[in-house]
Amino acid sequence: MKFAYYPGCSARSTCAELNEATHRVAAKLGLELNQLDSATCTGARELRAIDPVGFYTLNVRILALAERAGLPLMTICNTCTLNVLDAHAAFVEDEDLADSINARLAEEGLRYSGRTRISHFLWVLYENIGIERLRSLVVRPLNGLTVAAFYGCHITRPPQRYGFVDSRNNVALEKLAEVLGCRPIDYSGRTECCGFHTAAHDERVAIKLTGQHIKSARANGAATMVTPCPLCHTVLDSFQKEIERDIGENLDMPVLHLPQLVGLALGLTSEELRLDRHMVKTQAIASLIGA
Amino acid sequence: MTNVDVDARRLGQDERHDTLAARNTRLAIGEMLAVRVRRFDAEAGGAALQDFQVPYRKWMRVLDALNWIAENAATDLAYRWFCGSKMCGTCAVRMNGREVLACWEAVEPSMTIEPLRNLPVIRDLLVDRSPFDRKLAELEPWLERPTPYPGFPEPLSHKDIKNASKALDCIACLACYSACPVIGLGNLTDFAGPAPLVQLGQTALDPRNDAAKVARSLERTGIFNCVSCYKCEEVCPASIPIVTRVIEPLKAKAASLRPATATHSRALRAIVAARGRVDPGALVLRVQGLRALVNLPRVLRLFMRGKIDPIKTFLKRKTPAAGAAERLLGRGDSP
């Protein structure tokens, strides 16, 4: 099974451990990843707001690179996923926009016809690997590990993209955690916002919002949190010291990237999954599951 | 390629009754609903939850349950409604933690009904809308024409007016204002919130409006503090794509009319145009300038873990994507 793989900016800078872990886990799962090195940033939230044409062009270019390779696209970041999904939808709906983007892409011999299937790693596990096959690949069931799933926003909202009346009803991460042997816990932050997208100019919002989520995860007995988004991870993990200072208590909440949780159950070591690159120490998890 | 018959994007929608069809199968006529209502009376002191048993009848709405309670069990229950048909925007409440219009939401077997958040409660489910009214008045949400009326028909296409047209679907129910996490943080930022922005968008996104006036309004919105969580879109009973069709187009206007308010967005664009991808260190430095030094301890921690790379940042290292980004976005930070 082969994918055009788009890691995004975060997994190649602040969350480079996510990219490494994804490659390791993909190899275990028999996924061949064709990494799109010449793909640009999808524009985060900023480009799409102030320069929609530039935003659509960069994203359709990513889709066109995958289409040229004849492969479905796999993403590992919520915001990138929604960006390419939105750009694909706009491309398909607006013929004028589609023509003007293709005219720009033609300068480098690229063309998009609207055929690329877009899939986040979380969805690939269900749709391409399959839950039963994944279960059979688990060599180290993560028994005893209580997990607080943190979805983030852009993998479950907006409603016109994913169809949820109430995005809190998403259970994809909890079901997956159970397959890996974990015990998912319920808490108030599951589908709430981490505040990442305004943190570069004012991180107080991210610190206040995410503080509530980690506190709730801790109060409900989570030994670790897990997220499918490196942007959420940055706030949950890299900002945790500032969050602790803000609320005046210790949290010590390890936060795993989704491929790291899967990788642990597939028998990869914490070194291979680069748990050492996290800001909050993850040794407690390793000793709980004997990794 | 796909070997399993499952749509992973929607896991939970069936088993957790996330569709209208699934919800309608959950109750039979005459069954008792467990309804818990948050009561509040400042004079009697404090808030309390009160439980009621309400008999289900076909197509029962949250409003019908409230009416039943007011007629049969708590005649002093305070709640607001007028049209009963998703027009007047007065009956929004929270049902099981989610903002809904009482007149347009099916009941659930077990419901906790609470007043909207982020607004002062007057009594029971009644909230004081005046903070919203005041904010909106400050934004001057009206049309001023800098040029004389050109006569009928106006030279407007559906594309010119498409975003304002979406915003005009707003019934000002304030469900989005209650759902917004940034508004939930009180006065931490100067963010006006989704409902005032949608109301503003009705005229600010109209190309006939005076750009100078729109710029003055936008300056007072704190719009770049929107975290793009889509909570507002999720609860909007008028199905307005608030983020994509109102807030983002307003951000684009703010960025072109008042570039200084859009420092973060413009910095990201410039970095992507020059390097192909975002260098987080470069972004923070460009947005915060010397303010970034306040976070020196964190910068050092990030550096120790290899999460930032000052060499890349300061040498302005390009990625293999830089050529395409530069060609498609152009140099500089103006769209």
pLDDT value for B191: 98
By the 10 Å C-beta count (0-12 exposed, 13-18 middle, 19+ buried), B296 is classed as exposed
Q: Do B248 and A52 touch (CB under 8 A)?
A: yes
C-alpha A1, offset from chain centre: 20
DSSP character for A237? I
The reply to whether A16 touches chain B by the CB within 8 Å rule is yes
Partners of B181 on chain A (C-beta within 8 Å) are 192-193, 195, 209
Of A61, A130, A238, Cβ closest to residue B307: A238
Q: Between β-strands A32-35 and A2-6, what pairing exists: parallel, antiparallel or unpaired?
A: parallel
C-alpha B15, offset from chain centre: 27
Q: Quick count: other Cβ atoms within 10 Å of Cβ B242? A: 29
pLDDT value for B208: 93
Distances from the Cα of A69 to the Cα of A115, B59, B238, angstroms: 12, 52, 41
Per-state percent for chain A, helix, strand, coil, to nearest 5: 55, 10, 40
Of B17, B181, B251, Cβ closest to residue A193: B181
Q: Do A169 and B325 touch (CB under 8 A)?
A: no
pLDDT value for A119: 98
Q: Quick count: other Cβ atoms within 10 Å of Cβ B93? A: 30
pLDDT value for A287: 85
- pLDDT per residue, tens digit, chain B (335 aa), is 455 578 999 999 988 998 877 887 888 998 999 999 999 998 877 789 999 999 999 999 999 999 999 999 999 999 999 999 999 999 999 999 999 999 999 999 999 999 999 999 999 999 999 999 999 999 999 999 988 888 888 888 999 999 999 999 999 999 999 999 999 999 999 999 999 999 999 999 999 999 999 999 999 999 999 999 999 999 999 999 999 999 999 999 999 999 999 999 999 999 999 999 999 999 999 999 888 888 888 888 888 888 888 888 888 888 899 999 999 998 655 44
The reply to whether B325 touches chain A by the CB within 8 Å rule is yes
Q: What is the CATH number of domain B130-257?
A: 1.10.1060.10
Task: Give the DSSP per-residue string, B14-48.
Answer: TTTT-SHHHHHTS--TTPEEEEEEEEEBTTT-SEE
- Cα separation, A190 vs A169, in Å, equals 10
pLDDT value for A195: 98
pLDDT value for B332: 54
Question: What DSSP element (H or E) covers B244?
Answer: none
Between positions 215 and 234 of A, the ones with CB within 8 A of B are none
Q: Between β-strands B110-114 and B32-40, what pairing exists: parallel, antiparallel or unpaired?
A: parallel
Q: What is the CATH number of domain A131-289?
A: 3.40.50.11810
The reply to whether B164 touches chain A by the CB within 8 Å rule is no
Q: Do B302 and A238 touch (CB under 8 A)?
A: yes
Cis amide leading into B153 (omega within 30): yes
Q: What is the ipTM of this complex?
A: 0.96
Partners of A127 on chain B (C-beta within 8 Å) are 2-4, 6-8
Between positions 85 and 104 of B, the ones with CB within 8 A of A are 97-98
pLDDT value for A18: 98
Of A15, A157, A239, Cβ closest to residue B233: A157
pLDDT value for B335: 47
Place of tokens 């990625």: B319
The residues spanned by each domain of chain B are: 20-127, 130-257, 262-329
Which three-class secondary structure state does DSSP give residue B335? Answer: coil
pLDDT value for A10: 97
- Cα separation, A151 vs A165, in Å, equals 16
CA atoms A184, A185, A188, A189: torsion sign: negative
Per-state percent for chain B, helix, strand, coil, to nearest 5: 45, 10, 45
Q: What is the CATH number of domain A2-121?
A: 1.20.1050.140
- Cα separation, A288 vs A277, in Å, equals 19
- The pLDDT tens digits of the residues spanning A72-129 come to 999 999 999 999 999 999 999 999 999 999 999 999 999 999 999 999 999 999 999 9
First to last CA, chain B: 39
The residues spanned by each domain of chain A are: 2-121, 131-289
Partners of A117 on chain B (C-beta within 8 Å) are 1
For B20-127, the fitting CATH number among 3.30.499.10, 3.10.20.30, 3.40.1580.10, 3.40.50.620 is 3.10.20.30
The reply to whether B264 touches chain A by the CB within 8 Å rule is yes
Residues of chain A where predicted confidence (pLDDT) is lower than 70: 291
- Cα separation, B197 vs B247, in Å, equals 7
Give strand ranges (E) for chain B.
32-40, 47-55, 92-95, 98-101, 110-114, 121-123, 126-127
Q: Do B233 and A160 touch (CB under 8 A)?
A: yes
